[in-house]
Amino acid sequence: MKRLTAIFLSLLMVVSLAACGSTTSTDGESASHPPASSQSADGSETVADQDVPEGFILIEGGSFQMGSPDSEPWRSEDETQHSVTVSDFYISPYELTQADFQMVTNGNPSSFSGENLPVENISWLDAISYCNARSELEGLTPAYTVDGQNVTWNREANGYRLPTEAEWEYACRAGTTTPFNTENSPSADEVNYYGHYPYEIEGNYFSQGDLDTQPGQYRETTVEVGSFAPNAYGLYDMHGNVSEWVWDYYGSYSTEEQTDPTGPETGSLRVYRGGGWNDFAKNMRSAYRATLEQDHGSFNIGIRLVRNAVAGSGSVSGSATSNNTSGDGNILIAYFSWGGNTQGVAEEIQSQTGADLFEITMVNPYSDDYNTVLDEAQRDQNEQARPELASHVENMEQYDTIILGYPNWWASIPMPVASFLEEYDFSGKTILPFCSHGGGRFGQSLTAISKLVPDAAMGEALSIHYSGGSSMPDDVSEWLSTNGISEN
């Protein structure tokens, strides 16, 4: 009932927008909205004057600066700021719920259970399949044609689809130019994320009084869609709860002005946006780009549906670069450990597989003091440093599978692991990550790995809470079996 009421209110908002040309921000003040137009950005005729699809909001097109300025804290190099124009489109105010997903597919792969919780643990290909299935059920033209791993998008279709990366960021920002679509970093009372780690805490961990937003609750689960206030366009959970798949392959941005961009034509990774319930605030920024192979899902990735409001033309073909995983061949266990938790898991894997064991060590090791290493780790991450390694793998070419272990530091990989990944050619190899953590599971470490070695296949990853406890050996055994690796 709560969600139906919210949908009704959203529809009333759309009527109000059509009448006055503005939206209302979460603090009650009027916020500027792009003007309505009768043509798309490329001059084609729009269908914006038609009825809004039930439960959807019309986002009127316009131009914006996509990406982040050089001055934005914790920005990544792949967020090059550039001018983009998008055409009108319809978007759901909510992340897709488990009830809606199950009604169409008769299945629910989610890690958390609840009708009004967002569906998660679905791959990009699962999302495409859902869009087509729902379109067919409602008598709409499916947007996608699927041929194995290759997907073609018919831009003329009126069925459900994923937003492009540009559409998603435009909708998320809702006219803002700040790191988030709120004035300051959102608090845990405004967004569902790893609330212990608000924006810029990494450099202020021991001086939290300097933070604009103080640490708050970490719920360790998804929450019902629409639990918090919407952005200025009436969209809920654009930051946090679950990340959301978009259409685009991952790749570098063009520095030229673009209109309705659709990303690279080929790739091995798809993009997802917005951050999830276990993400630090820095990875929920409007410009942050996360990646994963299109046939993989995760407990913090869901979808938000879009439909055309502009009569598109032509089609966009997506050609997937296949990185096939395999448990066959020679195996290397490579790990970086500071407190010993990751080392313990690595040694258990070695005892079960008999694989070669290699420790990633530094010429200038991090401090033995916990408080000091916190500062050192965040400093190196912020600078994207590449510490010099003291140990090296001889004949890396002999290994087909790399079981890669590390602690979750500040929601990503320690920078010595980045040094390791950049030292060798991993093309055609399979990487199986395992991660020790204190509550954030993988953070965005899998994204960091995939960006560094896009030509490697990534198998199912394993997260271990601290040292793993008494269940760790069984957890390792089950994980190895899932990845097709035989025990001794």
Q: What is the DSSP string of 423-483?
A: HS--TT-EEEEEEEESSSTTTTHHHHHHHH-TTSEE---EEEETT-GGGHHHHHHHHHHHT
> 88 in a domain, yes or no?
yes
Q: Which two tokens stand for residue 41?
A: 């950005």
485: exposed, middle or buried (Cβ count in 10 Å: 0-12, 13-18, 19+)? buried
Average pLDDT of 197-225? 94
Are residues 219 and 79 part of one domain? yes
Are residues 174 and 52 part of one domain? yes
Q: Which two tokens stand for residue 55?
A: 């439960």
The C-alpha angle 358, 359, 362, rounded to 5 degrees, equals 135
* Local confidence band at 277 (pLDDT 50, 70, 90 cut-offs): very high
> 487 in a domain, yes or no?
no
Are residues 130 and 82 part of one domain? yes
pTM: 0.85
Are residues 200 and 102 part of one domain? yes
Are residues 86 and 12 part of one domain? yes
Q: Give the amino acid at 402.
A: I
Comparing C-alpha atoms, which of 134, 131, 50 is closest to residue 309?
50
> Does the pLDDT of residue 26 top 70, yes or no?
no
Average pLDDT of 358-374? 96
Instruction: Say what the pLDDT of residue 42 is.
Output: 45
Instruction: Say what the pLDDT of residue 488 is.
Output: 77
Q: Which backbone phi and psi does 433 adopt, to 5 degrees?
A: -80, 145
Are residues 337 and 312 part of one domain? no
Do strands 430-437 and 462-465 pair parallel, antiparallel, or not at all (unpaired)? parallel
Domain final residue pick, 320, 346, 373: 320
What residues contact 158, with CB distance under 8 A and at least 6 apart? 140, 141, 307, 308
The CATH number covering residue 453 comes to 3.40.50.360
Are residues 335 and 309 part of one domain? no
Instruction: Say what the pLDDT of residue 183 is.
Output: 81
Average pLDDT of 389-406? 96
Domain final residue pick, 267, 289, 320: 320
Are residues 109 and 206 part of one domain? yes
- At 293-312, the pLDDT tens digits run 999 999 999 999 999 998 77
Do strands 243-249 and 270-273 pair parallel, antiparallel, or not at all (unpaired)? antiparallel
Instruction: Say what the pLDDT of residue 7 is.
Output: 39
Distance of alpha carbon 354 from alpha carbon 351, whole angstroms:
6
> 185 in a domain, yes or no?
yes
The DSSP letter of residue 299 is T
Domain final residue pick, 292, 320, 348: 320
> 370 in a domain, yes or no?
yes
The DSSP letter of residue 186 is P
Strands (E), 178-330: 243-249, 258-259, 266-267, 270-273, 290-292, 301-302, 306-308, 315-320
Q: Which phi-psi region, left, alpha or beta, contains residue 200 (left: φ > 0; alpha: ψ -120 to 50)?
A: left
- At 400-433, the pLDDT tens digits run 999 999 999 999 999 999 999 999 999 999 999 9
The C-alpha angle 210, 215, 218, rounded to 5 degrees, equals 165
Strands (E), 27-110: 30-32, 57-59, 62-66, 82-86, 89-91
> Does the pLDDT of residue 442 top 50, yes or no?
yes
The CATH number covering residue 304 comes to 3.90.1580.10
- Residue 3: other Cβ atoms inside 10 A: 18
Q: Which two tokens stand for residue 12?
A: 């009333």
> 325 in a domain, yes or no?
no
Average pLDDT of 83-93? 98
- Domain around 20: 2-320
* Local confidence band at 29 (pLDDT 50, 70, 90 cut-offs): very low
Comparing C-alpha atoms, which of 180, 255, 237 is closest to residue 212?
180
> 164 in a domain, yes or no?
yes
> Does the pLDDT of residue 36 top 80, yes or no?
no
Q: Which phi-psi region, left, alpha or beta, contains residue 229 (left: φ > 0; alpha: ψ -120 to 50)?
A: beta
Are residues 351 and 295 part of one domain? no
- At 156-204, the pLDDT tens digits run 999 999 999 999 999 999 999 999 999 888 999 999 999 999 999 999 9
Instruction: Check: CB of residue 476 under 8 Å from CB of residue 349.
Output: yes
Instruction: Say what the pLDDT of residue 50 is.
Output: 52
Do strands 150-154 and 315-320 pair parallel, antiparallel, or not at all (unpaired)? antiparallel
> Does the pLDDT of residue 455 top 50, yes or no?
yes
Percent of the chain with pLDDT over 70: 88
395: exposed, middle or buried (Cβ count in 10 Å: 0-12, 13-18, 19+)? exposed
Structural domains of the chain, count? 2
- At 123-167, the pLDDT tens digits run 999 999 999 999 999 999 999 999 999 999 999 999 999 999 999
Are residues 311 and 215 part of one domain? yes
3-state secondary structure of 417: helix
* Local confidence band at 52 (pLDDT 50, 70, 90 cut-offs): confident
Are residues 356 and 232 part of one domain? no
> 188 in a domain, yes or no?
yes
Instruction: Say what the pLDDT of residue 21 is.
Output: 34
Instruction: Say what the pLDDT of residue 2 is.
Output: 41
Instruction: Say what the pLDDT of residue 486 is.
Output: 87
> Does the pLDDT of residue 25 top 70, yes or no?
no
Instruction: Check: CB of residue 44 under 8 Å from CB of residue 313.
Output: yes
Are residues 391 and 269 part of one domain? no
Q: Give the amino acid at 187.
A: S
Distance of alpha carbon 208 from alpha carbon 202, whole angstroms:
10
Instruction: Say what the pLDDT of residue 51 is.
Output: 62
> 474 in a domain, yes or no?
yes
